[in-house]
Amino acid sequence: MTNAMDYQFPQQLFPSFYNCGPPDLVLKHGAGNWGCYEQVLPQGGSGPLSSWTFTSRHQARGETWRHTEPVPVPLMSPKNCFLWPSKPPNPLDFTKHMQNFFLDHCKDAFGCMGEILSENFEQVHREARLTRMRYGKESVYNVRSDLDMMKFKMCPRSYSSKSLDMYSALLSDVVPSVPPQLLGSLLHEELTEQRDRALFSEGATGGALAFVPFSRSGGDPQRGCLLYPGNQGLDCLNFHRVELQHRSGSSSCVDAGSSDPFSFQLKGPVRQISCVSLFNDCCVAVRSDRLCGVWRFAETDKPRLLQVVNTREVATCINVSPHVLGEILVASESGAANLWNVGRGMQKVREEDGNLYFNAKSSWRWCEFSAHPRVMVYADRTGMELTDIRESPVSSHTLFRISNTPECRRGERLILSRYLGDVHTFQHLVTTQYSAYIMDERFPCMPMLKWDHMMQSPPMFCHAVCDSASSGSAVGGARTTKVVLGSQNSQEITLLQYSGGRAEATSSRGPPRALLRPRDSLKHLPVQIPHRLDLATSRLSSPAAGLTCIQKRGGTESGGKECICILQLTEAGDIFYQTLEPELPDASRPPAAEDEPPPLKEATGSGGQTAQRLRPLDPRLVVSDTSSDEGVLGPTQGPAVPRFVAETPEREQRAPDVHSDSSSEDSEPRGRGRLPNYLGQQVIVNDDPELDRVSGLDAGEKDGEVGRAGVEETVGSSSSGRAERPTPVELSEGALVTWKRWLQKLVQKSRKKTLRPRCPQHLTVKTEDLLLPGGEARDPADEERAQSLRRDLRACMSERSLLVHGTVSAPFQAPGTVAVPDVVDTEAWRDEISHRLTISWQGEGAWRAWWEERLGLNKEEKANALRRKRRAAKEAKRATGRSLDWSGSFTSSVDYQSRLSDFSDSSGWSSAVSQGVWSDTNVHLYQPKGVLENRAATPPTTLSATQTHTPVATQPTTLSATQRHTPVATQPTTPSATQRHTPVATQPTTPSATQRHTPVATQPTTLSATQRHTPVTTPSAAQTSSSTPAPSQTPKRESMPANQRRPKRPANDYLSSLSAPQDEPSQRDGYFLDGESTMDAPAPPVAPSSSQRSLLSQAASLWSGLSPSLPVSQSSQGRPGPSQLKKKKSRMGF
């Protein structure tokens, strides 16, 4: 077991001062002892000067071990667990918690007093008929309904209840069953404690994960028994046979026969597992808070419980004797250390009331065995003592003491001590929150070695891996002993290496090395969608609860490679492992870096395969995972999975129903179309010959392979950034698959339970009716068209091509083209309404100005403006002309209008503006639908983007001419008839009409042409067209200028009520144009439209009578939908 040469003591030790006294060192830099040698020892001797060599206490180089994977890999599928918030609670948040309590458990909070008080209220109510008291029964009912409303999380401002407030003012200190002051202080206390526990919970010291190797030789594969807590509360002790295998090209086997973990249900969470195997017999001691149990098992024997004891105080430590089987040391918070001889009872070894050396205000105690079977180590936060229990008043002397150890730092406390009996008979490891010490029992007080471990939270778990006797691949000659430290809260694992301790003085080898943490692994994995990311992040960052290592020694007889597998348990019950391999001394950098093709190429082809081929040897921990988790298989089982996880058949059968949703979640571009390959039959999904050739080894590989194409890309691109780095450890195929499945199962697990079942946060509005006109019969032809459109759209999306007009309009193509109407000569139409309509094409402003002129409404305004202008001019003169034009433009509406019309007249903007108005109305009218469209349709985005950038400038001017013509052609409406532009009036009445007007394609064809295609005249057809992405683009593009212009409109423009009529004709224009051009459409719109028009006109006249001057704010209030819509869309365009 131990090296027989351990009795040697170093002939020379490194020089060091021996300082006593309270430590006051505060390290200001965070660099620890990087870069320093600390001390040197001369070696050689008495010869010439050049014969002397020096060894330093901190040697720069240690063994180089490299990770086989860039992430730790989960060992088992995720189980249900309780997830604590990753952030420690803030004690000052107690009001929030009180509020939650009052809301969630109102029966408990107010039950008693509520019952009592309600009687009184009833009495009061009887009297209240006369006196009309303010606090009557009715108001109590109101309060009750208000309270019911409180279940919904709502904005407290908008949903405040007056009566509730009054009652709370009146009764707040009476009603709660527990007085709020008391509850508050207790909660604060509790939260403080919880925070402390979250930051540092000393109960977990030692760790609840252990591995017992079965054969000491350490051949290939390395078998053993992994001990870990299971279940949600970690209150189930599992004995699980595991096997560390080397996965080479062909050899891989699963020990399926004895795969069930042997579990014992305990009465409390497992805090610490200590085990020792002696003579092929293993003794396992398990510490729970107040229970300690001892099990015994061997490779051939099943574990059996030997004895359980109940400790009066909380037990803080349990340790099995490495010398005598069945001797266990138990320490508890009372300060007593007991030697527990299984079957024979407890014997108190030592008891301390206070701390050993100074008052550290800690009741944490620790005890351990030492090199001598009857000398114990008794430790607390201040230090540790060697206690000889043979003598009746036990004699003890200091082994480690915070203040006596050189270069202790202020506030340093002992966190963990561990007897390193397996490594060296006399060595102990002591960790504090800053440092790790190697102590030698033979030379107490002075540490043989000290590191700054540079971990962010104190190391509470450790595992020492002794230097394997078989040397050869070592870099620096002598082998090193590795100490792996694990911290709880931050999950850090640090690897320290040292050598010596026998004939040579102990010296550290290389700086501390941080190993991988589960919480960092998501960076290396495919990108997750946000809620899964949150879930996975919080799960992965739950604090660590244990640490152990499986060491595999390279032996010539087995031919296996040496490696260390480090397993880490988290409080969520997950175990992650990472494997370290010694770096070959001749290859300074691993060959994988150069050999692998550029990662981005991998993404397109069979990248995963290449990676796999290049990694013939991949040590991997194998667990036959048939534990009772009813989780379901994900769709993407890669090549490796079936080898490692023996799935129960019923789980596989359940796979299909999961497949559909998980594949959609998994951001696999081709996931949906394929057949799931969960039963292992070969499915050819890719014609790539190379892929076929490669995957010939394993038929089942295909599925995961192709599905992961998108995934590879993300991995590849992230790795391409550090391509030149000498650490090109790529995520291997198997690990990736394991992770994917793990994440999928995690999501499935979490879907079943919600931590806090509450009512939905907001009152929901059902949108189904809005989406589908309920119960309306659909024309099968339309259905067909819609289907074909959907198909086209999907095809376009999958090819990442544009959905061009031709594709869209093909199913709707009217037989025979309709000629473009002639350009309208506006001069020819001289009557008033034609003039007005012509003006209206110049823009809303011009049109309004026309109306103002016409109605003479702006006389006063004009006079005012004139006056103001003069005044302004005078002032401007006084102020010697600064920003004169500005003030003018703001004050004078005429000026503004003219400017505006100037603006709209210039170049092709006119058409844009007029269209804007027009389409604005459209969109406004269909607001609900427009929004829905916007959500539903995900257009080929590049298209709309380019069009927004070059809006109308590209359109020929003839286009505007065409459109200017349109109103004239239609001219159906009078302004009075169209003054019905309040949303309330219009929206219910014109659903069918509005839907019909969504203009479709925006393609290089002229706009008039597009408009010809637009009118899918039946409501149902309009519905189908709305499912295509194209319609939603058109209004956006066209309305952009109008949208830009709107904010400029003077806020107090009382004529804006007239803006409503302006909309109508243009809308009608569109409508009538549609009617003209698509008479061949299946259902002519004439009848509904006319009836609606009359309805509209009635309503409008009513409104015009009621509110001749609709404030602009209101009219524009009707529009936020469209404007938002447009903005949204423009964003979507990119």
Partner 1 sequence: MDDLQRELGPLEDLEDDSDSSDGNSSKGKKSKLPLVNILHAETSRETGFHKSTRACLERIREALLHHRWQEAAEYMACYPQMLDDTTNGTGQQYKELIWRMSAEILHHHPNSKMEDYNNIYERMKHSGVKHFLMISLEHSFHLLHNGHIEDAKHQLSVAESWRHGKESAAQYQRMKLIHAYRSLLDYMIWCDKKLSYINTTEYPDCGENQDMNNYFRHASVNLKDILKTPGIWDPFILSYVEMLEFYEDHEEALKVLNDYAYDNTFPPNPNGHVYLYQYLKRQNTSERKLVKVLKVLHASVPSHELMLEYSSLLLQSEKKTNTQKAFGVVLEMLDFACWRSNLDVWKLLKAIIQKLQLQDDWRDSVAGKMAPRKDWWPVLHFTSFHASTDSQENPELKEVKASLTKILCPDLMLKYTA
Count of Cβ atoms closer than 10 Å to residue 277 Cβ: 22
DSSP calls for 717-747: HHHHTTTTSS---PPPHHHHHHHHHHHHHHH
Segment interacting with partner 1 (CB under 8 A) among 37-45, 113-121, 262-270, 563-571: 37-45
Q: From residue 272, give the alpha-carbon distance in Å to each of 45, 235, 319, 423.
A: 49, 11, 9, 21
According to CB under 8 A, which one of 243, 255, 379, 415 is a site residue for partner 1? Answer: 415
The only residue of 2, 558, 667, 955 in contact with partner 1, by rule CB under 8 A: 2
- Whole-angstrom distance, CA of residue 284 vs CA of residue 301: 13
H or E stretch covering 565: strand 563-570
For partner 1, which stretch binds (CB under 8 A), given 234-242, 725-733, 922-930, 1105-1113? 725-733
Residues within window 46-65 making contact with partner 1, judged by CB under 8 A: 46-50, 52-54, 56, 60-61, 64
DSSP string across 323-358: SSTTEEEEEETTSEEEEEETTTEEEEEEE-SS-SSS
Map 826-870 to HEC letters.
HHHCCCHHHHHHHHHHCCHHHHHHHHHHHHCCCHHHHHHHHHHHH
Q: Which residue has the tokens 């524009």?
A: 1116
Contact between 323 and partner 1 by CB under 8 A: the answer reads yes
Among 79, 240, 246, 381, binds partner 1 (CB under 8 A): 381
Tell me if 348 contacts partner 1 by CB under 8 A: no
Region of 32-40, 619-627, 833-841, 1028-1036 interacting with partner 1 (CB under 8 A)? 32-40
Tell me the sheet residues that pair with 54. Answer: 42
- For the segment 510-539, give every residue that binds partner 1 (CB under 8 A): 511-514
Q: How far apart are CA 540 and CA 523, in angstroms?
A: 12
CB within 8 Å of 239: residues ≥ 6 apart: 225, 226, 227, 261, 262, 263, 295, 297, 303
Regarding 345 and contact with partner 1 (CB under 8 A), the answer is: no
Q: For residues 663 and 805, give the distance between their C-alpha atoms in angstroms, rounded to a whole number.
A: 32
Which lies closer to partner 1 via its Cβ, residue 373 or residue 590? 373
Distance CA 537, CA 83 (A): 11
Options 160, 217, 681, 727; binder of partner 1; rule CB under 8 A = 727
Cβ nearer to partner 1, comparing 133 with 454: 454
726 binds partner 1 per the rule CB under 8 A:
yes
Least separation in angstroms between residue 550's CB and partner 1 is 22
366-369 and 375-380: which strand pairing? antiparallel
Q: Is 28 in the site for partner 1 (CB under 8 A)?
A: yes
| 856/851 Cα distance (integer angstroms) | 8
The site for partner 1, by CB under 8 A, has a size of: 98
**What are the phi and psi torsion angles at 600 (to 5°)?**
-70, -30
Distance between CA atoms of residues 483 and 481, nearest Å? 7
Please identify, among the stretches 348-356, 367-375, 902-910, 1124-1132, the one whose residues bind partner 1 according to the rule CB under 8 A: 367-375
Q: Does 17 bind partner 1 (CB under 8 A)?
A: yes
Enumerate the H helices of 177-331 as residue ranges: 180-199
Least distance from partner 1 to the Cβ atom of residue 488, Å: 11
Minimum CB separation of residue 433 from partner 1 in Å reads 5
Which residue type does 221 have? P
Rounded to the nearest whole angstrom, what is the least distance from the CB of residue 510 to partner 1 in the complex?
Answer: 8
Contact string (CB under 8 A) for partner 1, positions 191-210, x = contact: -----x--xx----------
Is residue 443 at the binding interface for partner 1, with CB under 8 A as the rule? yes
Cβ proximity to partner 1: between 493 and 549 the closer is 493
Q: Pick the stretch among 118-126, 505-513, 1016-1024, 1037-1045 that binds partner 1 (CB under 8 A).
A: 505-513
CA distance 537 to 243: 29
Identify the burial level of 221 via C-beta atoms within 10 angstroms of its C-beta, where 0-12 means exposed, 13-18 middle and 19 or more buried. buried
Binding flag, residue 1102, partner 1 (CB under 8 A): no
Q: Pattern of binders to partner 1 over 678-717, x per CB under 8 A?
A: ----------------------------------------
Q: Rule CB under 8 A: which of 268-287 touch partner 1?
A: 279-280
Which region among 27-35, 534-542, 607-615, 888-896 touches partner 1 (by CB under 8 A)?
A: 27-35
CA distance 853 to 846: 10
> Is there binding between residue 188 and partner 1 (CB under 8 A)?
no
Nearer to partner 1 by C-beta: 10 or 560? 10
- Biggest CA pair distance of the chain: 125
264 is a contact residue toward partner 1 (CB under 8 A): no
**Which of 1009, 1134, 986, 960 is closest to 1060 using CA atoms?**
986
If one asks whether residue 997 binds partner 1 (CB under 8 A), the answer comes out as: no
Is position 87 an interface residue for partner 1 (rule: CB under 8 A)? no
Contact positions with partner 1 (CB under 8 A) in 897-916: none
Q: Are 16 and 446 in contact (CB under 8 A)?
A: yes
Q: Provide, rounded to whole angstroms, the least separation between the CB of residue 86 and partner 1.
A: 17
Q: Which of 87, 134, 722, 859 binds partner 1 (CB under 8 A)?
A: 722
Distance in Å, CB of 274 to partner 1, minimum:
18
Q: Considering only 2-10, 763-771, 783-791, 942-950, which stretch makes contact with partner 1 by CB under 8 A?
A: 2-10
Looking at the Cβ atoms of 200 and 926, the one nearer to partner 1 is: 200
Q: Which is nearer to partner 1, 510 or 930 (CB)?
A: 510
